[in-house]
Amino acid sequence: MTVEPKTTGAAEKNYKNCTELIKDYKGGVAKDAKVKNKGGKTKNKPTVSAEIYKLNESKDRDKDGIACEN
């Protein structure tokens, strides 16, 4: 799966959980455009944002560089 940069109007913040993050970022948040999803197929492409990823890194359970992939 290829990750494409996207922009959004949502502010950079630390989300309480993945349910909250996915409301703003349907495919989760990737730390950079080079990451590969380890979790298999997803419905949506992640938004690329190193800043938002860093704030929500604890939600990247499989440590593939994408928080809350969906």
Angstrom CA distances, 52 to 9, 10, 40, 41, stand at 13, 10, 22, 22
Of residues 10 and 35, the one with the higher pLDDT is: 35
- In whole angstroms, give the CA distance from residue 39 to residue 11: 26
- In whole angstroms, give the CA distance from residue 36 to residue 23: 22
User: How large is the average pLDDT for residues 7-15?
Assistant: 72
Domain boundaries, the chain: 1-63
- Sort residue 35 into left (φ over 0), alpha (ψ -120 to 50) or beta: beta
pLDDT at 31: 97
Which tens digit of pLDDT belongs to each residue from 13-38?
999 999 999 999 999 999 999 998 88
pLDDT at 38: 85
**Alpha helices (runs of H) in the chain, residue ranges in sequence order:** 18-24, 50-55
